[in-house]
Amino acid sequence: MSPAIGLFPASGAGGLAQAATLELPQVEYSRFLPILILIGGAMAILVLAALVGGRVAEAWWTTLSVGVAAAAGIAGVWLWHDIQRHGPGTAISDALRIDGFSVWFTLVICSAVALFSLMADGYVQRERLGGPEIHVLALLSASGGLLMAYANDLLVLFLGLEILSIALYVLAGFHRRRAESGEAAMKYFVLGAFSSAIFLYGVALVYGATGTTRLDQANRTLTAMVTGNADRKLALAGMALMIVGLGFKVAAVPFHTWTPDVYQGSPSPVTGFMAAAAKAAGFAGLLRVLAFGLQPLRDDWRPAIWALAVLTLVVGSVLAIVQTDVKRMLAYSSINHAGYVLLGVYANNEDGVAGAQYYLLTYAFIVLGSFAVVSVVARRGDEATRIDDYRGLYLRKPLLAVAFTILLAAQAGVPLTTGFLAKFSVIRAATTEDDYSLGIIAMLVTAVAAFFYLRLIFVMYTAPEGVDEDHPEGEGSVAVLTRERTGMRVMPATAATIAVSVAMTVGAGLWAGPLLDFAERSRIFFSG
């Protein structure tokens, strides 16, 4: 029986006082342990920081943050084994849904937090921004992302979206001495506030149409409405507004306008975290809403997703070609990748959802490794981010150039990398016997997008003007580059981020079976 709390007496019939009671749900904390670990770990780090002050080295905060993320990931694995034994379930009066889908995104987001913390270690030391704050904000943001993945209620989904976003607004402006960082935070905050309001308005309309905010109940109500040909204009309006709100979070065109400026102005590690964790959380919410809650309206939302996917693929790839700043180029690249994930959403089948999940996991490692390289090359102040700043990188940092080459090749979809398998899985899922259009467009866009990745690779292996590779000891030779090494230091933690990202990209590309099988087994349940 649920516990009850007595409230103030209320006057009943005949003047008799009746005790009003508030029924509280029975809470099984073990069912959402990863979220509790992230929030509890963030709070513990803050308390510890208040107690020890500045007497602890930065590496300790990084270690604690990685440890918290690892603990949450291990709790996710434990949940997976529990689901295998007892099946999926719910928690907190069915507000949270515990299934393979939520476990998958637990691993995606926790991996992103761990890699971000390692990358941020070198960045905050170089920029003299030491302290636990950047790690605490990332952990809290990740807890919001997990809440979106676990949500079985639209209000819980909105709560997770706000927890995720508010911490990201602060992270975007974390480098308080850079005006560009503050500008990025302000743009992200203003546009994010609008998108959140639009999403919440959509939730209100769906509630008005179905009488519930629960996704499973909305699924059943909408199924009855569709079967009985009932008027569902209100539900369609709410659906459209929620797609707009979540489209902003995943940077789908035309809701992408914040992405280039925010990615360019934010600290490089934060940009990588946005591209990995925030995008994964946004798509987790979108899949929960469309492929589960609003599944009965699939004939209405699939054309809209088709249009969004095409616009996102084309705009992201074409505008990336004309960029001269690497962070802006990767921003448009991130938009382009969102288009591929939308293919899996559009497919509206279990293969499509599994493909989208696999894409988001592999892309998280690729993009975090890429921004780790960008952070190193940018040096103090994040100033050296133009494409020309990468010219001759193979002469200055050969291993760094090789690692970046692998990560860029994976983003282009080169075979034997996870990028190729991810693209193949979503394109295959979106292609049916009577509709090849989206698959053909995606393959054409892949050829276009390969240009800007290959251009950057070419620049890295092109010697700067005045450098004579045949006489490495003379004036005007490779020795000229020694002066350019100043500030381009690869910190051990950053090197670990790049190494793990490359190993995952190549290793899972060559031996893809276990990961693809896990994605197939952890896909969302369509039955509601």
Residue pLDDT, tens place only, 27-48: 788 889 999 999 999 999 999 9
**pLDDT of 474:** 47
**pLDDT of 86:** 86
DSSP summary character for residue 24: P
Per-residue pLDDT tens digits for 169-192? 999 998 888 888 899 999 999 999
Dihedral of alpha carbons 77, 97, 36, 276, sign: positive
Burial of 351 (0-12, 13-18, 19+ CB in 10 A): middle
The upper half-sphere exposure of residue 313, i.e. CA atoms within 13 Å in the direction of its Cβ, equals 25
Range with lowest mean pLDDT among 71-80, 244-253, 409-418, 468-477? 468-477
**pLDDT of 523:** 66
Mention every residue, 6+ apart, whose C-beta is less than 8 A from residue 425.
344, 351, 354, 355, 358, 359, 516
Per-residue pLDDT tens digits for 461-479? 987 765 655 554 444 455 5
Write down the H helix ranges in 20-132. 33-52, 58-86, 100-127
For residues 206 and 219, give the distance between their C-alpha atoms in angstroms, rounded to a whole number.
Answer: 11
Whether pLDDT at 4 is above 70: no
**pLDDT of 185:** 93
How many residues does the structure list for the chain?
528
Domain boundaries, the chain: 29-521
For residues 114 and 133, give the distance between their C-alpha atoms in angstroms, rounded to a whole number.
Answer: 15
The secondary element (H helix, E strand) that includes residue 11 is strand 4-11
Torsion of CA 432, 438, 443, 448, to 10 degrees: 180
| Rg (the chain; Cα; Å) | 24
* pTM of the full structure: 0.91
Q: Are 423 and 438 in contact (CB under 8 A)?
A: no
For residues 214 and 206, give the distance between their C-alpha atoms in angstroms, rounded to a whole number.
Answer: 10
